[in-house]
Chains A and B, each alone.
Chain A
C-alpha cells in the first residue's frame, strides 16, 4: 500500500513542519455483500476501498487528512495543506532531518481465517444460506425471509514518528436473517445475526439452520405479543446481546473520548465504587476470532484485555493515544476507526459483564410483576447525563416468579450510573454477540455480552 521510504519522508516532512507526532494509516479493504429475499438474489455488490489518513499532533491539537491518492507527491502536499491550516508551518525540527528506525511487526495470524473467501464460490454461499431460510419457516405465518451476507477483508498499515510500523489483516464474516411473519393482527419481524472474525467457516461455527429457526420463532412469537407494560419494575435481562444495555449505559461513559473532555458522568472516578459487587466489566480485544477482535488497534498498538470494573470498583478507562495525552492514563490499545476517512478515537472492542454465581431460576424468584427482556435491539446514550435507552426485541411478562406471555414494543430507559448500582444478581451463563457501534470515529464491529442478570428497578416504556 505504502512503501517504507514514502512513509519515512512523509513523517519527516510533518515533523519538520513542527508536528510533535506524525502518523500515517493506509488501508485496502475488499468487501462483498449479498442480499437474498426468499432465497432470490436481490442485490449483490463487491468493492475495493483504498485510502490513507495522515494524523499530526501539535501538542494536544489533532490535525487529520485523508485521501485516495497514495502517491508520495500527493501525500506530501496533503501534509503541507494540514500544516498551513494549523496556522503554524515553517518551524524546522531537528528530528525531521534523520531517518526513522521502524520497529516492524507483522500479525501473528491470531484471528486468521481457516477458509478464506476464495475457498468457495458464491453459489456455495447461497446453498448454506438456504439452510437458514428453510429453518426460519417455522409455520405458515412466516411469509418472507431476508438474508444479508457481509464479507470484509481489511489490510491496514500504521506507521508513526515513534518508529511504530504495524500491519494487520482483519477478515470478518457475518450473516443476518430477518423473518417476516404476518397474520390478521399485522406484520412482525424476527432477527438473528451471527458474525465472527473468521472466513467462510462461520457457517460451521454458527449453523445457519439454528439462527434461521431463532429468527422465525421470534417473528411468530411477536405476532401473538401484547403491548408491553409501562412503568418502573424489576427486569431480568437475557445473556449475549443483552449486554448492549451496559455497552450504552456504561461502556461509552468509560471511553477517554468523553472522559478527557469531562463530558462523561464517570470522569475522575478511578478507584471509586460505581457499581454493585456483582459487576465485573471487561473490554477484551484479544478473544480469538471474536467479531470485535484484532491483533493491533488502528493506532498500531497491540490490543489487550482491559478490566474496566472489578467487583464494582472502577479500574480503568478505555484509552487511545489522544486520550492518554490529555489524561495521563496508560493507553489500552483502544484506538479504533471505521476506515481511513476517520481519525481514531477510544472505542470498545468486545465488552462484557463477567459471569456470576446465581442460578438463572433464582433471578426470577420473588418477582411479583416484572419484565424478562430476553433479546435486545440497539440503544443510545448521552455520556454527559448518563441518560440511555434500549429497545427490547423479544420480551415476556414475569408474574409470581414465572415467565408468562410475550410482549412487544418495550424500551428500557434510565441513567447508566443508577442502573449499574441496581444489578442485584448475575448468573453464570455469560455469552457474547456481535453488533455495530456508531460513534465519532464511525461504525465499527464490536461484541457485547453478559450472563442473565437482574436489575431491581428500571423504567419500562410500553403502551400497556
Chain B
C-alpha cells in the first residue's frame, strides 16, 4: 500500500467507527557520503515512510503509528489509537476544521545534481582540511542530503502536502600544535547543493578550531560574554519551550504570566519566520494544517506571543499561530520553524570572553527553572580584540537574568541546525559567571 492509499483506507475506517481522525504521513529519502583517505568510506542510501494517526472520540485524543502499511497493521493502529484515547481524562480534544491545503514544493531542483558531483564535495572537504599541517586526524568529511514529503489528511477535510529538504557538508577533525589538541567541526547547510563550497567550509573549520589551540585556563570570575551566533543559539535552544503554550498550560513555563511584560533587554528581538528566504525549516502549514506566519516571541524585550497549536489556542483563548508540531511517530506538540534573533546595531569587542561553542546543553540547562551551567570554549578578549584561547571553563546563571543583561546584538545573521533551526548574530551579555581555574 502507498502512503496515500493508507490515508484513504484510514479515513474510511475511521468514518465507519464514528471517530474523527487525522493521518500524518511522511516519506523520506536520505543520501550520506563520507570521505576518508581520498575515497568514500561510507555510503548510506535510504527510503523510508511511516504514517501516524491522531483520533478524537468523545473529546478524548489518542495516537498510534506504523511503518508497516498492511490492512492488519493499519487496523491495529486504529484500534490502539482509540484505546489510547479512552485512557484520557480531558474531554476538550478536537480536530480543527480542515480545508484543501494544496501541494507545495519548497525544494525545487536544489538536490538534483549528479551523485558524482556530491561525492566530490565530500572528497574536496577532506582534501582542503588536510592542507593544514596542524590537522592530525579527520574524523569525518561528509556530504549528506535529506528530502521529505509530508502528507496531511483528516476526516474534517484537511488535505495537502509539501516537499522539503536540504543538503549539508560537515567536517569533524582533530587539530594539534605541540601538546595542545582540539577537536572541532564545521557544518554548512543549504537547500541548494550548488551553494555548498568545500574550500570555504574547510577554511572556516581551520580558522574556528585552529584559533583554540594553545588554550590556557581561565580564571573564575564575572566577565562580559561575547557569544558567537552558534553558541548563542545553542544556549537559547533548551529554553524555547518556555514559549510553548503547551508548557504554559501544564504549569511548566516561567513565562506563563508574562505576556506583554518586559523580560529581556530592549535591544533584543526574537521571532519565528516559517517563510524566510534562507529558511532551512520553512513550512506552508503546520502539522495540523494551520497556515504558518511570522510570530514575535520577544519584541524589544517584551513577551509578545506564545507558540500555539489549535488545542492550546482554544484552551487559552488565543489565535492559533501555526506551530503545531508532530512527526508520524509523535504526539501533538508545539515548536518553532526558523527561529531568528533580529540583527541589532552591532557588537564591539572590548574586555571579556568570546564564547565560540557550548557543550553539555542537553544536560546542563533546565528549561523549567531557567538555570544553566554549560561547558564553554572560547577566547579571552583584551584591549578590544580576541587575545588568546581559554579552556576548561563553564558559564552559568539563569536565562532570565541573561536576557536582561544583553547589551548589544550584532549585524550579521549566521544559521545553525544543531540544537534548533535558526539564525542569530553575535550577542553581548554583561556580567556572566564563568568558572575555571
Contact = CB atoms under 8 A, between A and B. Distances in A.
B200 interface: no
A67 B393 contact: no
B364 A377 contact: yes
A63 B66 contact: no
A62 B42 contact: yes
Contacts of A383: 183
Contact of B63 (A43, A68, A386, A390): A43
Interface in B129-182: 136-139, 172-174, 181-182
Interface string A53-70: 000000011111111110
A338 to B, nearest CB: 13
B350 interface: no
A382 B183 contact: yes
* Chief secondary structure at chain A's binding surface: strand
Nearest to A411: B373
A81 interface: yes
A460 interface: yes
A180 interface: yes
B84 interface: yes
B65 A47 contact: yes
A143 B251 contact: yes
Interface stretch (A226-234, A291-299, A422-430): A226-234
B206 to A, nearest CB: 15
Nearest to B333: A43
A47 to B, nearest CB: 4
Nearest to B174: A384
Interface in A414-434: 414-415
B255 to A, nearest CB: 12
Interface residues on A, range: 35 or more
B77 A48 contact: yes
A127 to B, nearest CB: 12
Nearest to A438: B362
A380 interface: yes
Contact of A459 (B63, B65, B435): B435
A258 B48 contact: no
A128 interface: no
Nearest to A62: B42
A119 B369 CA distance: 39
B48 A180 contact: no
A377 B396 contact: no
A410 B137 contact: no
B250 A144 contact: yes
A320 to B, nearest CB: 13
Interface string B388-410: 00011111110000000000000
Contacts of B362: 378, 380
B369 A51 contact: no
Contact of A48 (B67, B173, B183): B67
B23 to A, nearest CB: 14
Contacts of B181: 265, 384-386
A262 B174 CA distance: 9
Contact of B137 (A65, A144, A263): A263
Interface string B294-330: 0000000000000000000000000000000000011
A136 interface: no
Contacts of A391: 360, 363-364, 373
Interface stretch (B86-94, B103-111, B263-271, B334-342): B86-94
B142 to A, nearest CB: 11
A341 B374 contact: no
Q: Which of A34, A48, A386 has the most CB of B within 10 A?
A: A48
A231 B436 CA distance: 5
Q: Which of A123, A231, A409 has the most CB of B within 10 A?
A: A409
A86 interface: yes
Given A143-B251, A378-B363, A384-B183, A413 B375 contact: yes
**Shortest 5 CB-CB contacts between residues of A and residues of B:** A461-B394, A384-B183, A230-B435, A378-B363, A389-B375
Interface of A: 28, 32, 34-35, 37, 40-51, 60-69, 78, 81-82, 85-86, 122-123, 126, 143-144, 146, 180, 186-189, 227-228, 230-232, 258, 261-263, 265, 341, 343, 377-380, 382-391, 408-411, 413-415, 459-463
27 contacts: A46-B64, A47-B65, A47-B66, A48-B65, A61-B43, A63-B43, A67-B46, A69-B47, A85-B43, A85-B115, A122-B84, A144-B250, A187-B254, A187-B370, A261-B137, A262-B136, A341-B46, A384-B139, A384-B181, A385-B183, A389-B360, A409-B371, A411-B375, A413-B392, A459-B437, A461-B375, A462-B373
Interface of B: 36, 39-50, 52, 62-69, 73, 76-77, 80-81, 83-85, 87-90, 115, 136-139, 172-174, 181-183, 220, 250-252, 254, 329-331, 359-360, 362-364, 366, 368-375, 391-397, 433, 435-437
Given A414-B392, A460-B435, 17 more contacts: A43-B63, A48-B68, A48-B73, A48-B77, A61-B43, A68-B47, A69-B47, A122-B83, A123-B87, A227-B396, A382-B183, A384-B174, A387-B183, A389-B360, A389-B375, A411-B374, A461-B393
